């Protein structure tokens, strides 16, 4: 079972969509478990202050190191994976999602304001991860994205486990086009090769399609694929 622990100023956001559908069923079946930690509960003053101005000036506020560290120290066991969702972090990809799906516990820190004090990141061995080259108003939506990518890889979550092996990024390529019934729709037909029953030809067609799509849409992935 994977334990996902979320450190947030807005625990009411969770489980949200993660508590429905396949993920909700997996939650009920204890394939994964969710805990939300309200960072504000660990503020040490009577006003429950969680942020303050930054040294060196600037217009934004920063989550205080003592408050965040207090919330971490009172809830974590030693050597658990801690991730701060930050635009400065390394980019989340399928390889990282698969690695994280093998963890017993992952702790996700949802930042707000201008982020968190760097001293907490350095002292608690926190890994920074980004979901893309853009800035969000808070880390909660990024946490949903990361957990979505991870939970679906847990055994027993998806109905067809083998479908994961043929998805985009699994072999370094984007996924080939998919088709279903009706066979003719708006005068457009399904490619003949998919109706042939020749599995070898279908496999070759899918590979060629994946290669063409990747070469056209993601030249960065295509260059990596060619090198391998």
Tens digit of each residue's pLDDT (9 = 90 or more) over 41-92: 999 899 999 999 999 987 789 999 999 999 999 999 988 999 999 999 999 9
Is 51 strand, coil or helix? strand
pTM: 0.87
What is the tens place of the pLDDT at every residue in 159-188? 766 556 666 677 889 999 999 999 999 999
Q: Is 131 exposed, middle or buried (0-12, 13-18, 19+ CB in 10 A)?
A: buried
What is the tens place of the pLDDT at every residue in 15-48? 999 999 999 999 999 999 999 999 999 998 999 9
CATH T-level assignment (fold) for domain 2-151: Alpha/beta knot (3.40.1280)
In which residue ranges of the chain is CATH 3.40.1280.10 found? 2-151
Neighbouring C-alpha atoms within 13 Å toward the C-beta of 3: 14
- Strands 81-91 and 127-130 turn out to be parallel
Using CA atoms, how far residue 167 sits from 80, 100, 175, 206, 207, in Å, is: 29, 18, 6, 12, 12
Name the superfamily (CATH) of residues 168-227: tRNA(m1g37)methyltransferase, domain 2 (1.10.1270.20)
* Mean pLDDT in residue range 3-24: 96
- In 100-187, beta strands by DSSP E: 105-110, 127-130, 184-185
Is 209 strand, coil or helix? helix
In which residue ranges of the chain is CATH 1.10.1270.20 found? 168-227
Cα Rg of the chain, angstroms: 22
């Amino acid at each position: 079972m994977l334990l996902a622990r979320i450190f947030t100023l807005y625990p009411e956001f969770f489980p949200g969509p993660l508590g429905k559908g396949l993920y909700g069923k997996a939650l009920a079946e204890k394939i994964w478990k969710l805990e939300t930690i309200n960072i504000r509960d660990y503020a040490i003053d009577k006003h429950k202050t969680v942020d303050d101005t930054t040294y060196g000036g600037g217009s934004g506020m920063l989550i205080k190191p003592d408050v965040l560290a207090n919330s971490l120290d009172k809830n974590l066991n030693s050597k658990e994976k801690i991730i701060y969702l930050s635009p400065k972090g390394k980019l989340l990809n399928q390889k990282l999602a698969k690695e994280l799906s093998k963890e017993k516990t992952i702790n996700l820190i949802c930042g707000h304001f201008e982020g968190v004090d760097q001293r907490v990141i350095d002292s608690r061995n926190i890994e920074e991860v980004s979901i893309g080259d853009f800035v969000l108003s808070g880390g909660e939506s990024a946490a949903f994205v990361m957990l979505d990518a991870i939970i679906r890889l847990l055994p027993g979550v998806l109905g067809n486990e083998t479908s994961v092996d043929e998805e985009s990024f699994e072999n370094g390529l984007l996924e080939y086009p998919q088709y279903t019934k009706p066979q003719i729709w708006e005068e457009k037909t399904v490619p003949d090769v998919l109706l042939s029953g020749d599995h070898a030809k279908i496999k070759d067609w899918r590979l060629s399609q994946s290669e063409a799509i990747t070469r056209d849409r993601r030249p960065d992935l295509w260059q990596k694929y060619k090198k391998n």
